[in-house]
Structure 1
Amino acid sequence: MAIAVVTILLSLTVAALNALVRYRALLRKTEETAAELKAMFDTAVDGIIKISAQGEILSFNASAERIFGYTEAEVAGKNISTLMPEPYRSAHDGYLMNYLTTGNKKIIGSGREVTARRKDGRTIEIRLAVGESRIKGTRQFVGFVTDITARKKMEADLHHAKEQAIEAAQVKSTFLANMSHEIRTPMNAILGFTELLMNTPLNELQKKNLGIVRSSAKSLLALLNDILDSAKLESGSTELEMRDFSLHQVCDQVIATLSLAARKKGLRLSLNYAPQLNEFFRGDPLRIQQVILNLLSNAVKFTERGHVTLWVRQATSGKGVIIDVEDSGIGISTDRLEKIFAPFSQADSSMTRRFGGTGLGTTISRQLVELMGGNISVTSTVGEGTTFRVTLPLNTGKPVEGNIYGDEEIRLPPLHILVADDVPQNLELLTAMLESRGHTLVTASNGRQAVEHFSRQPFDLVLMDVQMPDMNGHEACQAIRRYETQQGLSPTPVIALTASVMEQDKRQAEAAGMDGFTCKPISVIELTGEIARVLGRQAASQHMYPELRKNDLQLPIDYEMGRTLWGSTQKHLKAIRRFMDSEGAEDRLTPAFAQSPQAAIAPAHRLKGVAGNLCLPQLARCAGSIEALLKQEDVAEIPFLLEMYQQSLTEITELLEEQTPTSEPAEATHAPVEPLDIEQLNTLISLLQKGEIPEETFAGLKMQFPADVADNVAEALHDFEPERAADLLITYKKHSLACHDDVE
């Protein structure tokens, strides 16, 4: 028994000692773990706050102290709402109670950005994530806090910078649009009237001087186009037009364009188009042409002797083409190759003085190539030459016929055209340009006048300037579309004439209901091409005239215009009857044409003028078309036009027989539409007497004058005679005041 008792006691002693050793080891490990956790808690970058179910703060780590400015001793036992600004502080206990009662989580288990309150009263932006734990059945919550004040400030700064960048881009876009319009408007007159003068008899000195004017104007316009192209490409507003085209034709045209310049310098300019390469591709031919033209023109400019060669071949991958422009020119140094595509950069600072140019050609080429999904590179050796390589991922296209670039003027049938433009020189230019091609024009100086003309008579086409006083082109086009809808008329094609060439200008024109878009300065080739496009015609042919006759709704007699010119409808009709009795009843054109086509030119010209003065637009149009075709020695369509001419005479005769004093159109009243503002009238007269041309002031008062007074004053302003306009208004003012006194 003694042995057993001793054995048991020894065993218990050993077990107790073993348990004590294990306990000390576990205690030491627990203390190490606790110390490690406390170290992690204290050194965490984010603030860690433990709170009870009642919202009391149980622990507060060092980062939390740094974020909120409190020490752990200052906040221990206090409600967590101490760290919240109003209104969150008052509502916090309600949020917590709602969760404990319903279990509806709003922030537990997720994170959100909230506002907190520091000890010094400042509010800060924090990101708060809250987790829940249960220890011995007791709920506790742990909040993880990150100070995001600096990040929020940076985001606000970035947002502000973005707004400033957007505003700057809008200002830049507006500036470019205004600059384009302001420069292109006078350029339109300079280039247009220069071209008209070049077609008149001139001596050698005059031709030389006009040639210099035209060349300088085109250089200025080219510079403006380069700047606008670069700006549009940088802003991403340039859109590509995808269509089938002949790449070989594009290259041939560029070579032909630069052949004269190359020949003057004694250079060999050649095209090497790979025989196995397909001719037709699908892409934007005008942009590809622009790239090739920029690179080739640079090559010709910087090559004094030797050759310039355009190589076109299949890409190595089998998809797309490679275009090389190789020259034997001055070359580019290695340190300048990387900068050659930078805006306004050239290979040498002396290049601008020696060769001219802005350095935008290669920049625009790179931007266009990248826009088309290709790439461009350059290799060069100083004194030996340069090679630009363009790789374009073009897909094979379908064969197309004809010249797709419209570099030849399309002949159109005689058209009745309404032209609206607030610049008198533009109206003069368009009148001279289009009437010489057999068209009949009615002009308006603002959108409101254009709408009035359109409501009085039909037109084949409307050319509408966009920026006009009183009513701009967009508003006028919308008014025309509403009128057509109300009257059940088919839409008349409207082409925008504008010096603003940004992409947004085209979209605005389309949104206003316009069918076409032509940029100023006006090019006859581009204008006739656009007219042909909106009319659904590609070229004039004998089949177009019967179609024109079928759709020709032009009035044989324009009563409204006749009343304005002749003073009354009775005087107008009397003049027409006198003409018909003396000359009109006898067909003099047909026998003259039968005798000799040249013999019919003079009577056709005379008839056109007389018919225009008598407000017989259909007859004037036929005579003008006959005269234009005879001058061009194109007699194929004359028989048909003579038939139209005879038919017009018959219609005029029938209308005259139908006219009686009771059936004549009512005389237009000349009373002002609005009451006369004497103070504004005096201001206008004062400005005119000082030699100014206050078109905007006159436009604001125009509706207050009778039609004849307004027209006479407008004519005086058009002729740059402000003193005569002032005298007319003074006379009208005296007459108006006298009538007013008589009434009283």
Structure 2
Amino acid sequence: AGLQHELHADLRGQPRAPAGERAARDQQELTEQILDQLPIPIFLKDRDGRFLRFNSRFEEFTQRSRAEILGRTVDDFASPRWAAATHVEDEQAWATGRMVTTERRMATFDPPLDVLVSRKVIRTGGLSYMLGYFIDISEQRAARAAMQHAVESAEAASRAKSEFLANMSHEIRTPMNGILGMTELVLESDIDAGQRADLALVKASADALLHIVDDILDFSKIEAGKLEIEEVPFDLRQLVADTLRAMSLRARQKGLALAAEIPPAVPRLMKGDPGRLRQVLLNLVGNAIKFTDAGGVTVALSVGAERDGRSEIAFAVRDTGIGVPQEKQHLIFEAFAQVDGSTTREYGGTGLGLAICRRLVILMQGRIDVRSVPGRGSVFSFTVPLQHTGAAQAAPLPPLAVLAPGQGMNLSATDNGLLAGADETLPATSPVGGLQAGVGDSASAASAPGGQLSSAGIGESASGGLRVLLAEDNPVNQRLAVRLLEKLGHRVTLVDSGLAVLERASHGDHDLILMDVQMPGLDGLAATRQIRQREAAQGGHVPIIAMTARAMAGDRERCLEAGMDDYLAKPVDSQQLRAMLLRYQPDSGHLLLDWRGALKRLDGDAELLLELAALFLQDGPQLWRELGEALDAGDVPRSTRAVHSLKGVLANFGAARALALA
């Protein structure tokens, strides 16, 4: 009240009552002392911008004396730029009646000060004033700048780390490509048993090293937030079958049984990320086999609650291995953590596998856990929500059978789930012997004891081989790729630079280009862009497949954006190369087997087509034998069922002539 009275008296020029002069003077002194004790500059202005009241901190901030400020406006002592900005901000406050705050820099200080200037119109006794204050935010702004610098430095470090990992991936995968590829070629040649065993050890060691590299790269991608989860349709039972088939050799070598338990209630067709699910399962099953010396490993599935069109699918991997102590169980999902140092010495590994599993499961909105009893075994379980495809589900299937792969037994997927199939050969008198031979060319030895599926012959059978332009600058990789391609029956033209591939591709006499991404001078991406630009002007389109030792997130996308049709990561596996080339075989109307049509029906999944070929080699003889027995017995219903089964199998390969016979 005293301050208001004093202001009113000052502004109106009204004399104070003699009796109140001392009280008013005391009130003024008290007000000034209070204002001077405040740690921030404060001011009071009238509607014309004249300073009526301010404290000593305001004088320090403006670097002006009281006499230079009192009754004056900002134009009298501030720079024109500061004064102009002040007028704009003041008018905004007068017009809106709201608090107006701006950030300003006071360059007259050394170092300059960063301040917040706030002002608000106040009204008292029928008069209006502007009350304002300054807050020094130099330290906050410096901290914010330091934080921004830290963020930018961290991002730069992350980019440098990613680039380093990509370069290391390239540097490691390039020689690994030569080691693995040439080892595979020699293993397929005529060598004695001792040499074969030695080379098999070399290959196993190289595979183990590559697995470690892949683990480190995967973990780095997850850490950097660059790993994305897909959502595509897939067959859940087939995924489990593929996983156990891939691990069956390791289980057989240790004399372990593999089992899969999938109740009929578990849906078959789902949407999710089958690649990452398979990666988690392979890791868990691989660990279970690694740490189990007797007994077996079981993969069990179950279905939980359903909400919003998604079902909670639970996976459990049970083993009868060494187990994990209770006090160590909370550690095993941490990066680089293992039960103890002896684990690494005895069993190997980086300690990244389970950490990757945990993070992949979390990315898929799931959870993972372990229960274990030392000396009795472990159960690693994880649950992920999978979306229903909306497609009609197949009829419920029986639970999958226990597997005990032994010598001469192969793991197969059938309508009854997973089982161990004995070696069989097709009778020479079979009317579908030509089909057997055609499939055999592409999947030879699939049913032989210890044999593996081979796609040799699929690519060649279609048109006698492709004319391949190979762009590769590394001498080891050149020799390996040429050997692999020629072994598959393809004709190869070799160039060693981007400029050379541009010149050679201009001739237009190749069916396909295998393009190394990193080459001196003009790299594979730039060469591809120029080829596509030329094709846009002249017409035509030659398939270009990238070959790169880089395996970081975004590499595939960059290749496709440059105009490449497909992508192979080094080291190039011979099976992957064969499957890839199959996609680009020209059509041929005289084939017994329509590989391209079959591949189209499988959405381009060449690996699945090869698996179907192997299953046909395994199951076809039994189907034909059942048909023969039914015909001999005059059993029409049984014959009809056998013919129906055969036609279903033959249809997978577009075998029109064999279908006509059936």
Normalised by the length of structure 2, the TM-score is 0.69
AA aligned to 2:70 is G
Q: Percent identity?
A: 33
Matched residue, 2:556: 506
Match of 2:80 among 77, 90, 114: 90
Matched residue, 1:339: 331
- Structure 1 residues 428, 399: closer, same or farther in 2, change over 3 A? farther
Deviation at 1:104, TM superposition (A): 8.6
Deviation at 1:341, TM superposition (A): 1.6
Larger Rg: 1
Verify: 1:170 aligned to 2:159, yes or no.
yes
Verify: 1:369 aligned to 2:350, yes or no.
no
Matched residue, 1:249: 238
Matched residue, 2:499: 448
- Structure 1 residues 168, 307: closer, same or farther in 2, change over 3 A? same
Deviation at 1:177, TM superposition (A): 0.8
Matched residue, 2:100: 110
3-state SS of 1:503 partner: coil
Q: For 1:308-346, what per-residue CA distance to the aligned partner results, in whole angstroms no more than 9, with x for missing partners?
A: 221111024472300011223333233433322221111
Matched residue, 2:346: 354
Q: For 1:617-659, what per-residue CA distance to the aligned partner results, in whole angstroms no more than 9, with x for missing partners?
A: xxxxxxxxxxxxxxxxxxx99xxxxxxxxxxxxxxxxxxxxxx
Higher relative contact order (CA 8 A, sep 6+): 2
AA aligned to 1:89 is S
Deviation at 1:487, TM superposition (A): 2.2
- Structure 1 residues 377, 39: closer, same or farther in 2, change over 3 A? farther
Matched residue, 1:483: 534
3-state SS of 1:392 partner: strand
**8 Å contact kept, 1:133–1:140:** yes
Q: Which moved more, 1:136-145 or 1:311-320?
A: 136-145
3-state SS of 1:276 partner: coil
Matched residue, 1:516: 566
Matched residue, 1:423: 474
Matched residue, 1:262: 251
Q: For 1:128-158, what per-residue CA distance to the aligned partner results, in whole angstroms no more than 9, with x for missing partners?
A: 1112345667653211322222211111011
3-state SS of 1:350 partner: helix
AA aligned to 2:557 is R
Matched residue, 1:48: 42
Match of 1:274 among 263, 273, 278: 263
AA aligned to 1:51 is K
Q: Which moved more, 1:451-460 or 1:254-263?
A: 254-263
Matched residue, 2:576: 526
Deviation at 1:249, TM superposition (A): 1.7
Q: Which moved more, 1:307-316 or 1:290-299?
A: 307-316
Distance 1:519 1:60 in 2: 72
3-state SS of 2:554 partner: helix
AA aligned to 2:487 is S
3-state SS of 2:258 partner: strand
AA aligned to 2:304 is A
Deviation at 1:535, TM superposition (A): 5.9
Q: For 1:400-430, what per-residue CA distance to the aligned partner results, in whole angstroms no more than 9, with x for missing partners?
A: 9999xx9763712321111111112222222
Match of 2:487 among 436, 454, 464: 436
Verify: 1:458 aligned to 2:450, yes or no.
no
- Structure 1 residues 48, 416: closer, same or farther in 2, change over 3 A? same
3-state SS of 2:506 partner: helix
- Structure 1 residues 392, 448: closer, same or farther in 2, change over 3 A? same
Q: For 1:4-52, what per-residue CA distance to the aligned partner results, in whole angstroms no more than 9, with x for missing partners?
A: xxxxxxxxxxxxxxxxxxxxxx99x999999998898667665432234
3-state SS of 2:333 partner: coil
3-state SS of 2:79 partner: helix
**8 Å contact kept, 2:89–2:100:** no
Match of 1:494 among 527, 544, 547: 544
- Structure 1 residues 504, 537: closer, same or farther in 2, change over 3 A? farther
Distance 1:335 1:341 in 2: 13
- Structure 1 residues 218, 92: closer, same or farther in 2, change over 3 A? closer
3-state SS of 1:426 partner: helix
Which runs of 5 or more residues in structure 1 are unaligned?
1-25, 548-635, 638-744
3-state SS of 2:186 partner: helix
Verify: 1:58 aligned to 2:58, yes or no.
no
Q: For 1:457-504, what per-residue CA distance to the aligned partner results, in whole angstroms no more than 9, with x for missing partners?
A: 322111111111232111221222222223222x11110011111232
Distance 1:234 1:58 in 2: 60
Q: Which moved more, 1:171-180 or 1:342-351?
A: 342-351
AA aligned to 2:340 is D
- Structure 1 residues 190, 78: closer, same or farther in 2, change over 3 A? farther
AA aligned to 1:391 is T
Distance 1:184 1:424 in 2: 14
Match of 2:112 among 102, 113, 123: 123
Distance 1:157 1:348 in 2: 41
Distance 1:352 1:470 in 2: 44
Matched residue, 2:631: none
Distance 1:302 1:131 in 2: 73
- Structure 1 residues 36, 358: closer, same or farther in 2, change over 3 A? farther
- Kindly tell me the number of residue pairs found equivalent between the two proteins: 517
Distance 2:37 2:122 in 1: 22
Deviation at 1:541, TM superposition (A): 5.0
Distance 2:26 2:372 in 1: 72
Deviation at 1:546, TM superposition (A): 12
AA aligned to 1:505 is D
AA aligned to 1:423 is N
Normalised by the length of structure 1, the TM-score is 0.62
Q: Which moved more, 1:433-442 or 1:184-193?
A: 433-442
- Structure 1 residues 279, 138: closer, same or farther in 2, change over 3 A? closer
Distance 2:187 2:241 in 1: 28
**8 Å contact kept, 1:133–1:139:** yes
Q: For 1:84-131, what per-residue CA distance to the aligned partner results, in whole angstroms no more than 9, with x for missing partners?
A: 8xxx6234555667899999969984111112368x654311111112
3-state SS of 2:493 partner: strand
AA aligned to 1:256 is R
- Structure whose residues are more often helix by fraction: 1
- Structure 1 residues 396, 121: closer, same or farther in 2, change over 3 A? closer
3-state SS of 2:494 partner: strand
3-state SS of 1:373 partner: coil
Verify: 1:381 aligned to 2:373, yes or no.
yes
- Structure whose residues are more often strand by fraction: 2
Distance 1:100 1:250 in 2: 70
3-state SS of 1:275 partner: coil
Distance 2:596 2:297 in 1: 50
Map 1:572-583 onto structure 2 (within 5 A). Answer: none
3-state SS of 2:190 partner: coil
- Structure 1 residues 382, 144: closer, same or farther in 2, change over 3 A? farther
Distance 2:256 2:244 in 1: 12
AA aligned to 1:342 is E
Matched residue, 2:642: none
Match of 1:309 among 278, 298, 305: 298
Match of 1:471 among 513, 522, 525: 522
**8 Å contact kept, 1:128–1:144:** yes
Deviation at 1:54, TM superposition (A): 5.5
**8 Å contact kept, 1:126–1:147:** yes
Q: Which moved more, 1:408-417 or 1:51-60?
A: 51-60
Deviation at 1:173, TM superposition (A): 0.8
Distance 1:323 1:539 in 2: 45
Map 1:383-402 onto structure 2 (within 5 A). Answer: 383-397=375-389, 398=391
Distance 2:26 2:324 in 1: 72
Which runs of 5 or more residues in structure 2 are unaligned?
1-19, 395-411, 414-442, 444-452, 598-654, 657-662
- Structure 1 residues 96, 304: closer, same or farther in 2, change over 3 A? closer
- Structure 1 residues 100, 139: closer, same or farther in 2, change over 3 A? farther
Deviation at 1:356, TM superposition (A): 0.6
AA aligned to 2:79 is R
